[in-house]
Structure 1
Amino acid sequence: MTTGKWDDLLPRLASAVAMVGIGALGVWLGGLWFHALISVVVGLMVWELVTMLDTARNRSALILGVASGAAAMVAIELPASFALPLLLIPSMLGLGRMENGGVTYAVFTALIQLAGYGLMALRDDFGLTWMVWLLLVVVVTDIAGYFAGRLIGGPKLWPRVSPKKTWSGTVAGWAGSAVLAVMFAGATKAGAGLIGVSVAVSMASQIGDIAESAIKRRSGVKDSSNLIPGHGGLLDRFDGMLGAAIFIVIAGQLIGFPPGSE
C-alpha cells in the first residue's frame, strides 16, 4: 500500500542526477557556456509550450523555439534597455501563428524569456555563490515538499490543478528554504533579510510549478514533452526555476541583492 507513494522516486532521482550534472557544469563554467545552455533550455521550453497549447502547430513550434533560444542568446550580450524588446519578439511572433492558446503562449513565453535572461544576469553579475543559492532554494523546496507531502499528507493545496500537492509539503518547502538561507547568511555577508527573500523565492518556485500544471491540465497532457525519457519534459523539471528566476528579476529592482551585503 505505501510502496505506491514512492514509485516515482527512482526515475525522479535518476533524471535529477543527469540534469544536475549538466547544469552544474554550465553554472561552474559561466560566461558563454552558461549563456548557451540557458538559451537552449529556453528554446526547448518554448517548443514544448507550443506543442502543448496547439498540437497542429508542429512547424511553428520549431520556428518559435529556435527564435526564442536565439533571442535569449543575443539579448544577454546587449545593454538591458535593448535586450528587453528583443526578449519579447518571440511572444509577438507566436500570436499570429497560434490557432489555440495564443494569449497563454505570449504571456508564458515572455516569462520564460525573462527567467532565462534573469538566470544569465544573476550568474554574470553576482557570481557562482548566488547562482548556487538560487538553485538550492528551488531544489530544497521541491525535495522538502515531496517528502513532507508523502509522509505527512493532509489537505491539498489546489487539488483541481495539482492533486498531489499538499499544504504540508508547501510549508515544508518554505521551512527548508529558510534553513538554507540561515546557512548562506552565515557563510556570506548577506543579512537576516536573506531568510525572507529565500522563503519568497520558494513560494515563487511553487507558483511556477502550479502554473505549468494548470497549462498541462488545460491542454489535457500529462507531461510537457518526452524529451527526458520516461520522465517528461524540461518545463516539467524547471517550472519551479522559472518562477524563482522571474521573482529574482523583479525583487532585484525593489531591494538590494543580496540583502544586507551592501
Structure 2
Amino acid sequence: MSTGKWDDLAPRLFSAVAMVGIGALGVWLGGLWFHALISLCVGLMVWELVKMLDTARSKSALVLAVASGAAAMLAIELPPSFALPLLLIPSMLGLGRMEQGGVTYAVFTALIMLAGYGLMALRDDFGLTWMVWLLLIVVVTDIAGYFAGRMIGGPKLWPRVSPKKTWSGTVAGWVGATGVALLFAKSTQAGFGLIGVSIAVSMASQIGDIAESAIKRRSGVKDSSNLIPGHGGLLDRFDGMLGAAIFIVIAGQLIGFPPGSQ
C-alpha cells in the first residue's frame, strides 16, 4: 500500500496534540484566560484572511488583526447590545484598506468575530460540559472525515473547490457526531433530540471548512498560512469551528440552548 497519502500524518498529530493541550487548558480555565485565547485566535485568523485576499497589504493585515482581537476581547465584557456593533468594527475598518477582496473580507471577518464571541459566551453561560460537546463534534467530524476519506474514498463532495473531500468522509463525520450525541444525551438532560442538533452542527462545521477552501481556491493558496505544521494556518484548523459556533449562535435562538432545555 502506498504511504504517500499518509505522509502528513506525523506533523498533523504532533501539532494536534499541542493544539489540544493549549485549547483544553483554555477551555478548562474559562473566564479571562479563555477570552484571551479566543481573542488571540480571532486576531490571527483575520491576519491570515487579509494575507490571502490581498497579499500587498501586510501592514493592513497586522492593524486589522490587532483591531479584531481587541474588539473580541472587549465585546465579551460588554452587554450584548453594545457588543454587536463592536464586533462589526473590524469589517468596516478593512473595507477602506483592502485593494481587492474587500467584500469577502468584510463578510468573513464578521463571521469570525461572531463565532469568537459565540464561543466565549457559550463557555461563560453554559459551562464546561457544552463547550466540550461542541469541541468534540467538530474534532470527531474532522477526524472521521479524514480517515474515512482516505480509507474508503469514493465520489468527491465538491472537487472544484475541495478535491480531497469525499462523500464517504462527509457521512462519516455525521456518524461520528451521532456517537458524541449519544454520549451526551445519556449524561445530560438533553435527550435524544441532541442527535439531530449534533448532526446539524457537524454539517455546519463542514460548511465552514468548505467556505474557507473556496477562499483559498480563489486566492490561489494551499494553506491560509504556515503557522501550524501539518495543518497550515489557524483558519485551516478552525474553519469547522467557525461554522459550528455560528450555527449554535443562530440555532440557539430557535430551539433553545442547551439542547432540550425548551
TM range (shorter): over 0.9
Q: Give distance in 2, aligned partners of 1:17 and 1:196.
A: 29
Q: Give distance in 1, aligned partners of 2:40 and 2:33.
A: 11
Aligned equivalent of 2:118: 118
Structure 1: stretches of 5+ with no match in the other structure: none
1:158-188 per-position Cα deviation (integer Å, ceiling 9, x unaligned): 0011000000000010011011101100011
- State the shift of 1:227 in Å: 1.4
Aligned equivalent of 1:48: 48
Contact 2:12 2:229 in 1 (8 A): no
- State the shift of 1:16 in Å: 0.6
Q: Give distance in 2, aligned partners of 1:76 and 1:31.
A: 10
Whether 1:89 and 2:89 are equivalent positions in the alignment is yes
1:48-72 per-position Cα deviation (integer Å, ceiling 9, x unaligned): 0000000010000000000000000
Name the aligned partner's letter for residue 92 of structure 1.
M
Name the aligned partner's letter for residue 190 of structure 1.
A
* Secondary structure, counterpart of 1:92 in structure 2: helix
1:18-45 per-position Cα deviation (integer Å, ceiling 9, x unaligned): 0000000000000000000000000000
1:102-155 per-position Cα deviation (integer Å, ceiling 9, x unaligned): 000000000000000000000000000000000000000001111111111110
Q: Give distance in 2, aligned partners of 1:86 and 1:34.
A: 19
Alignment of 1:205-224 (within 5 A): 205-224=205-224
Whether 1:32 and 2:32 are equivalent positions in the alignment is yes
Contact 2:53 2:105 in 1 (8 A): yes
* Secondary structure, counterpart of 1:154 in structure 2: coil
- State the shift of 1:191 in Å: 1.3
Name the aligned partner's letter for residue 103 of structure 2.
V
Cα RMSD of the aligned pairs, angstroms, is 0.9
Q: Give distance in 1, aligned partners of 2:49 and 2:62.
A: 11
Q: Give distance in 2, aligned partners of 1:230 and 1:245.
A: 24
The 3 A distance-change label for structure 1 pair 229 and 12 is closer
Whether 1:157 and 2:157 are equivalent positions in the alignment is yes
Q: Number of residue pairs matched?
A: 262
Contact 2:212 2:236 in 1 (8 A): yes
- Greater Cα offset, 145-154 or 43-52: 145-154
Contact 2:190 2:258 in 1 (8 A): yes
Contact 2:11 2:229 in 1 (8 A): no
- State the shift of 1:256 in Å: 1.5
- State the shift of 1:2 in Å: 2.6
- State the shift of 1:230 in Å: 5.2
Name the aligned partner's letter for residue 256 of structure 2.
G
Q: Give distance in 1, aligned partners of 2:119 and 2:78.
A: 15
Alignment of 1:62-73 (within 5 A): 62-73=62-73
Alignment of 1:74-223 (within 5 A): 74-223=74-223
Aligned equivalent of 2:253: 253
| Identical residues among aligned pairs (%) | 89
1:180-231 per-position Cα deviation (integer Å, ceiling 9, x unaligned): 1011000111111110110000000000000101101110111111112454
Contact 1:191 1:261 in 2 (8 A): no
Name the aligned partner's letter for residue 226 of structure 1.
N
Q: Give distance in 2, aligned partners of 1:167 and 1:227.
A: 29
Runs of 4+ residues over 3 Å off in structure 1? none
* Secondary structure, counterpart of 1:253 in structure 2: helix
With structure 2 as the length reference, what TM-score do the two structures score?
0.98
